[in-house]
């Protein structure tokens, strides 16, 4: 365990790498530990208690590896587990994700915003509260996107299936006048080039990865002892197939990645209703 601490980041799969990328850019000297819970992906169709249980097991593992700050790089897991993690690990900064409703409302000119997200995120009380707080006189259209997470998990960022799904999910939003689309899942930024190709250059795409990284930086500076900076490192873990995870993470991260398998006790969670 390093005396300098580490930042732990987790997601249902590889999507949180889009957030990790921003964290590495803003905090270039930190030790980062990333967990892809690919053995349980996607979270969007799991029950809230199940996601909460997975989030707790992963967070315990991250703390055991020296993490003194945790980023829940998953909108669905944030909605299901952020509160309980903050209670359990009250001494740690716990940074969550949420769809970027506020900046999207500020950006729209047509006063119509579309949200692309998992069903779990859209059905959460946390998302409902966001709409109540920030929507105002802007019309917010929501679109669940089954299948998009799985496309990214397979690394099929330029596939015909990915394009067909994006066309299906964005068409009704554009038809109703949306000029701003929120990428409400951390997997979706990896599909942003194809989304842009489908919807055109006039549609604004909004995600929160950079804002989350900057918020993390502020929390670390305000709440943790001064960091003892060593050589930056990034460790990758998965609860799924390690070879598959290494291949997909390397594709998304932009350099060769070796993902280690999580301990068996961390990989297993019995279904909770």
Active site residues: 74, 185
Q: Which helix (H) or strand (E) holds 113?
A: strand 112-117
Q: Which tokens hold the place of 149? A: 């997470």
- Strands 233-238 vs 259-261: parallel, antiparallel or unpaired: parallel
Q: Which residue has the tokens 């604004």?
A: 204
Number of Cβ atoms within 10 Å of the Cβ of 170: 20
Cα gap 191→200, rounded to integer Å:
14
What Å distances lie between residue 152 and 16, 79, 92, 245, 273, CA to CA? Answer: 11, 21, 30, 12, 27
Q: Which residue has the tokens 């599909």?
A: 191
Cα gap 51→47, rounded to integer Å:
6
Q: Half-sphere exposure (CA, 13 Å, Cβ side) for 248?
A: 27
């Amino acid at each position: 365990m390093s005396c300098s601490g580490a930042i732990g980041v987790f997601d249902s799969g590889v999507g949180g790498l889009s957030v990790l990328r921003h964290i590495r850019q803003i905090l270039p000297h930190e030790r980062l530990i990333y967990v892809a819970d690919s053995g349980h992906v996607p979270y969007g169709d799991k029950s809230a208690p199940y996601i909460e249980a997975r989030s707790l097991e992963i967070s315990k593992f991250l703390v055991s590896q020296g993490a003194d700050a945790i980023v829940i790089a998953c909108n669905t897991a944030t909605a299901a587990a952020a509160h309980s993690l903050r209670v359990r690990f009250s001494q740690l900064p716990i940074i969550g994700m949420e769809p970027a409703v506020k900046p999207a409302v500020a950006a729209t000119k047509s006063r119509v915003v579309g949200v692309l997200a998992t069903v779990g995120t859209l059905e959460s009380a946390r998302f409902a509260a966001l709409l109540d707080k920030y929507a105002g006189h802007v019309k917010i259209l929501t679109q669940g996107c089954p299948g998009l997470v799985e496309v990214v998990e397979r690394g099929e960022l330029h596939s015909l299936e990915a394009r067909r799904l994006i066309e299906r999910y964005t068409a009704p939003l554009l038809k109703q006048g949306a000029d701003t689309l929120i990428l409400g899942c951390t997997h979706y930024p990896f599909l942003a080039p194809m989304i842009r190709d489908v919807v055109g250059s006039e549609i604004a795409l909004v995600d929160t990865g950079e804002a989350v990284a900057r918020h993390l930086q502020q929390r670390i500076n305000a709440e943790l002892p001064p960091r003892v900076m060593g050589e930056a490192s990034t460790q990758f873990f998965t609860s799924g197939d390690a070879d598959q995870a290494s291949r997909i993470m390397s594709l998304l991260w932009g350099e060769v990645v070796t993902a280690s398998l999580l301990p068996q006790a961390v990989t297993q969670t019995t279904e909770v209703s």
